[in-house]
């Protein structure tokens, strides 16, 4: 298979959006040139601080210092060098020893140098290294430090090094990557990751000096572990911009993919990203489906608003083989409290929405999405009288946080009188596996209490309160009907033109279309996707995933849409429309090397974004509850058998 012959591959996630007055394009759209110093390290001259010219690649037992590419190596922050690998540079084995690579090149205009730097995993005996970037102009003997000395220690963290090259733009000379040892060179396993020169396409990319790189790029583990690894991720450079945009909205799993994606034509606009964060956590942890919320009737992992999430859980609850359950806020009952069954639980999705108390109506404004991380359950005798919850959330004032506690959560539903900024909890989404709720019992603590809080003011009129599920019911029913109509059947895909191999297309798995560049020399490739049953919502964009050889970009790919009449046409992004057929054209001569089209994900229009980045602040309780220490005796929670710590 072609995939086995592509060396050092990388995945390019590309987006095709509706473009006013033109076709849809599924195009990598890189509008800038870039130079990879790690990818061309073989062409540099490697020298140590004594002037000794070193071999490339070097050997890790060379006391004069060495440089080499490391693939699949673990870095000090726990991540793994995949794809391009990292450039290891070990200084000469001596106090203040050094190694440097000299690259002969011309500096492009409007460019910056970006690299991730640090030490390989296991370098605990290193006393730290110094990274330097220097410039020696052709015909000059002077070497200029382009950045202050950058110190790196073995502390479990890596850094992004960014250098503005505008002061040397247009000059020819030697750009020098240099690593220096400290008092000892023991285990100075320094690396450069990326090390590229690029012209930034946006103001909030990892190349920007104000870019905040806090939080993990590619978190692993179960849902709550993944969420906690992203705590501290924050906007930078512009509102809704920076790392959350490229990670939570676009799904980039590292900084250099974010750089590439920033140059993509047709990227969606930046917007409040609390719901997107919840979807990203689910994708990374592989719940409730392997692709998070991606399933045959919801063909993308991404979501854009709380409505999308609410409807997802409600639809899943109705359809056969459900992986989700929706619990309305008005259904919460402390006298019949079963976490994950009829009540919230750690790992549950929690949705907020504006409540018009005067007219007793839900208003689709100032919505917010969270995930419950911890719970405290207070009991007076055998009766539960209070439940407190702690949440982890994205876009809490522009940051991912996990520090907010809500006392007596029922007070924040329509059954209680607390409404921060006029907002109420509308309900909870529960992830399921084999019909059982995925919750974390070790995140629940139990307390004895001598007195309970004042009962919620609305408890006696539960049945008369409006449920958000009643508002969502028409769309939910359309999606249920759609899921029944298509079941899990494969898409009807027709190919014409160039020769391809390995087509395995359905609604949830990859296409795996292997395309040889030589087959596109004289003929284009046409792919027609028949969804058979049009989705109930208009198509908003098409997301393509390619596997490409190093140093190449995906081809310019034209996409058109048609209804049941197969009359293809272009239309503007401002006017999405419902379509049955999707036609993808890969023009002849557009592929430089063999490639694999892995998937085509279709995104639909859920309406305007109504999420808010305004924090949902807890309302201080007037009543306090005295508590005894945590106890572990038999409780109502032991009557069900939820799956603990599931991924």
How do residues 505-546 score in pLDDT, each as one tens digit? 555 555 778 888 888 888 899 989 888 889 999 988 777 777
The whole-number average pLDDT for the span 563-570 is 89
pLDDT for position 320: 79
Q: Which two tokens stand for residue 206?
A: 């990892």
Q: Calculate the average pLDDT of the chain.
A: 86
Conformational region of residue 136, where left means phi above 0, alpha means psi within -120 to 50, and beta covers everything else = beta
The whole-number average pLDDT for the span 421-431 is 98
- The 3-state secondary structure of 118-186 reads EEECCCCCCCCEEEEEEEEECCCCCEEECCCCEEECCCCCCEEEEEECHHHCCCEEEEEEEEEECCCCC
Q: Is the pLDDT of residue 272 over 90?
A: yes
pLDDT for position 457: 57
Residue with tokens 């590619």: 218
76 neighbors 123 (Cβ within 8 angstroms)? yes
Q: Helices (DSSP H) in 222-380: which residue ranges?
A: 223-229, 243-244, 255-262, 274-285, 306-318
The whole-number average pLDDT for the span 127-144 is 97
- The 3-state secondary structure of 424-457 reads EEEEEEEEEECCEEECCHHHEEEEEECCCCCCCC
Residue 127 domain flag: yes
> What is d(CA 516, CA 147) in angstroms, rounded to the nearest whole number?
44
Question: Which backbone phi and psi does 258 adopt, to 5 degrees?
Answer: -65, -40
490 neighbors 506 (Cβ within 8 angstroms)? yes
pLDDT for position 33: 59
Percent of the chain with pLDDT over 70: 85
**Residue that wins the pLDDT comparison between 94 and 530:** 94
Neighbours of 320 (CB within 10 A): 8
The whole-number average pLDDT for the span 474-487 is 91
Q: Is the pLDDT of residue 324 over 50?
A: yes
> What is d(CA 263, CA 255) in angstroms, rounded to the nearest whole number?
13
Shortest CA distance to 540 belongs to which of 584, 580, 572?
A: 572
Q: Is the pLDDT of residue 646 over 90?
A: no
Number of helices followed by number of strands (H, E) in the chain? 7, 32
Residue 186 and residue 89 share a domain: yes
Residue 316 domain flag: no
Residue 332 domain flag: yes
Ranges assigned E (strand) in 50-111: 53-54, 66-70, 86-90, 98-106
Percent of the chain with pLDDT over 90: 63
Q: Is the pLDDT of residue 504 over 60?
A: no
Choose one of 199, 222, 237: the last residue of a domain. 199
Residue 452 and residue 332 share a domain: yes
Q: Which two tokens stand for residue 441?
A: 């019992």
Q: Is the pLDDT of residue 161 over 80?
A: yes
Q: Is the pLDDT of residue 630 over 70?
A: no
pLDDT for position 572: 63
Residue 624 and residue 499 share a domain: no
Question: Which backbone phi and psi does 614 adopt, to 5 degrees?
Answer: -75, 125
All residues at 6 or more sequence positions from 534 whose CB lies less than 8 Å from its CB, including other chains:
563, 564, 578, 579, 580
The whole-number average pLDDT for the span 32-37 is 74
Grade residue 600 by pLDDT with cuts at 50, 70 and 90: confident
What per-residue string of b and e applies to 347-370 under the rule 16 or more CB within 10 Å gives b? bbbbbbbbbeeeeeebeeebbbbb
Residue 460 domain flag: yes
Residue 191 and residue 178 share a domain: yes
Residue with tokens 């004032």: 397
Residue 167 and residue 70 share a domain: yes
**Cα R_g (the chain), whole angstroms:** 28
- The 3-state secondary structure of 225-262 reads HHHHHCCCCECCCCCCCCHHHHHHHCCCCCHHHHHHHH
Choose one of 139, 166, 199: the last residue of a domain. 199
Domain interval for residue 14? 2-30+490-531+537-604
DSSP state of 577: B
Residue 581 and residue 549 share a domain: yes
Domain containing 583 — which CATH number?
A: 2.60.120
Choose one of 147, 176, 199: the last residue of a domain. 199
Whether residue 57 has a cis bond before it, omega within 30° of 0: yes
Please tell me whether residue 509 adopts helix, strand or coil conformation. coil
pLDDT for position 640: 33
* 364-398 residue pLDDT tens: 999 999 999 999 999 998 899 999 999 999 999 99
Lowest-confidence pick of 150-159, 333-342, 550-559: 550-559
pLDDT for position 573: 66
Question: Which backbone phi and psi does 58 adopt, to 5 degrees?
Answer: -85, -175
Residue 292 domain flag: no
Residue 193 and residue 51 share a domain: yes
Residue 283 domain flag: no
Residue 20 and residue 78 share a domain: no
pLDDT for position 621: 67
Residue with tokens 């279309």: 513
Lowest-confidence pick of 3-12, 448-457, 531-540: 3-12
Pairing of strands 361-380, 444-449: parallel
Q: Which of 114-123, 266-275, 297-306 has maximum average pLDDT? A: 114-123
Residue 631 and residue 513 share a domain: no
Beta bridge partners of 36: 196
Lowest-confidence pick of 79-93, 112-126, 304-318, 541-555: 541-555
pLDDT for position 489: 61
Lowest-confidence pick of 130-144, 204-218, 624-638: 624-638
- The 3-state secondary structure of 541-576 reads EEEEEEEECCCCCCCCCEEEEECCCCCCECCCCCCC
Predicted structure pTM score: 0.84
Q: Which two tokens stand for residue 427?
A: 């309900």
Residue 304 domain flag: no
pLDDT for position 27: 34
CA-angle at 46, arms to 43 and 51, nearest 5°: 145
Lowest-confidence pick of 82-86, 120-124, 208-212, 347-351: 82-86
The whole-number average pLDDT for the span 21-33 is 36
Residue 406 domain flag: yes
Residue 352 and residue 368 share a domain: yes
* Sheet arrangement for strand 595-604: 10-17, 539-548, 595-604, 513-515, 500-501
Q: Is the pLDDT of residue 625 over 90?
A: no
pLDDT for position 550: 57
Number of domains in the chain: 3
Q: Which two tokens stand for residue 207?
A: 């190349």
Residue 43 and residue 21 share a domain: no
Residue 571 and residue 441 share a domain: no
pLDDT for position 21: 27
Q: Is the pLDDT of residue 30 over 50?
A: no
């Amino acid at each position: 298979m072609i995939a086995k012959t592509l060396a050092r591959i990388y995945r390019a996630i590309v987006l095709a959006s509706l473009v006013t007055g033109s076709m849809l394009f599924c195009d990598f759209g890189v509008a800038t040139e870039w130079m990879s110093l790690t990818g061309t390290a073989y062409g540099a001259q490697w020298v140590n601080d004594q002037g000794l010219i070193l071999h490339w690649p070097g050997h890790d037992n060379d006391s004069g210092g060495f440089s080499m590419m490391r693939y699949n190596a673990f870095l000090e922050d726990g991540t793994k060098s995949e794809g391009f690998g990292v450039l290891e540079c070990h200084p000469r084995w001596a106090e203040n020893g050094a190694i440097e690579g000299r690259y002969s090149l011309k500096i492009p205009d409007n460019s910056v140098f970006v690299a991730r730097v640090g030490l390989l995993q296991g370098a605990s005996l290193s006393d730290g290294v110094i990274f330097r970037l220097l410039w020696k102009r052709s015909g000059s003997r002077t070497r200029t430090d382009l950045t202050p000395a950058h110190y790196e220690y073995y502390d479990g963290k890596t850094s992004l090094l960014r250098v503005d090259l505008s002061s040397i733009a247009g000059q020819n000379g030697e750009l020098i990557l240099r690593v220096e040892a400290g008092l000892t060179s023991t285990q100075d396993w320094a690396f450069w990751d990326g090390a590229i020169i690029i012209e930034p396409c946006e103001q909030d990319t990892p190349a920007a000096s104000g870019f905040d790189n806090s939080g993990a790029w590619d978190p692993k583990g179960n849902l709550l572990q993944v969420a906690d690894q992203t705590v501290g991720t924050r906007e930078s450079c512009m509102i809704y911009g920076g790392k959350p945009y490229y990670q939570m909205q676009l799904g980039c799993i590292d900084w250099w993919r974010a750089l590439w994606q920033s140059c993509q034509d047709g990227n969606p606009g930046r917007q409040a990203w609390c719901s997107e964060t919840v979807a990203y956590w689910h994708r990374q942890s592989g719940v409730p489906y392997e692709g998070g919320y991606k399933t045959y009737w919801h063909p993308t992992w991404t979501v854009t608003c709380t409505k999308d999430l609410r409807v997802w859980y409600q639809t899943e609850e109705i359809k056969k083989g459900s992986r989700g359950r929706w619990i309305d806020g008005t259904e919460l009952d402390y006298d019949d409290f079963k976490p994950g069954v009829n009540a919230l639980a750690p790992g549950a999705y929690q949705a907020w929405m504006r409540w018009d108390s005067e007219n007793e109506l839900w208003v689709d404004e100032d919505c917010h999405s969270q995930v419950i991380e911890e719970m405290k359950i207070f009991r007076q005798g055998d009766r539960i009288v209070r439940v407190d919850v702690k949440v982890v959330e994205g876009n809490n004032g522009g940051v991912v946080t996990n520090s907010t506690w809500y006392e007596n959560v029922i007070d924040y539903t329509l059954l209680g009188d607390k409404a921060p900024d006029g907002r109420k909890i509308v309900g909870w989404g529960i992830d399921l596996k084999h019909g059982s709720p995925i919750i974390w019992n070790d995140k629940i603590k139990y307390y004895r209490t001598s007195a309970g809080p004042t009962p919620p003011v609305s408890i006696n009129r539960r049945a008369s309160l409006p449920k958000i599920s009643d508002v969502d019911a028409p769309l939910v029913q359309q999606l249920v009907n759609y899921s029944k109509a298509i079941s899990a059947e494969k898409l009807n895909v027709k190919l014409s033109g160039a020769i391809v191999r390995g087509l395995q297309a359905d609604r949830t798995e990859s296409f795996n279309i292997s395309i040889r560049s030589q087959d596109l020399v004289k003929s284009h490739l046409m792919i027609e996707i028949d969804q058979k049953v049009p989705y109930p919502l208009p198509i908003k964009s098409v997301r393509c995933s390619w596997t490409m050889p190093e140093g190449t970009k995906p081809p310019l790919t034209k996409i058109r849409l048609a209804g049941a009449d197969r009359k293809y046409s272009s239309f503007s992004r401002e006017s999405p429309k419902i379509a049955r057929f999707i036609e993808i054209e890969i023009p002849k001569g557009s592929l430089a090397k063999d490639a694999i089209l892995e998937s085509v994900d279709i995104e639909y229009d859920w309406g305007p974004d109504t999420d808010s980045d305004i924090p949902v602040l807890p309302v201080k309780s007037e009543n306090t509850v005295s508590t005894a220490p945590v106890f572990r005796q038999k409780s109502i929670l032991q009557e069900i058998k939820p799956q603990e710590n599931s991924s």
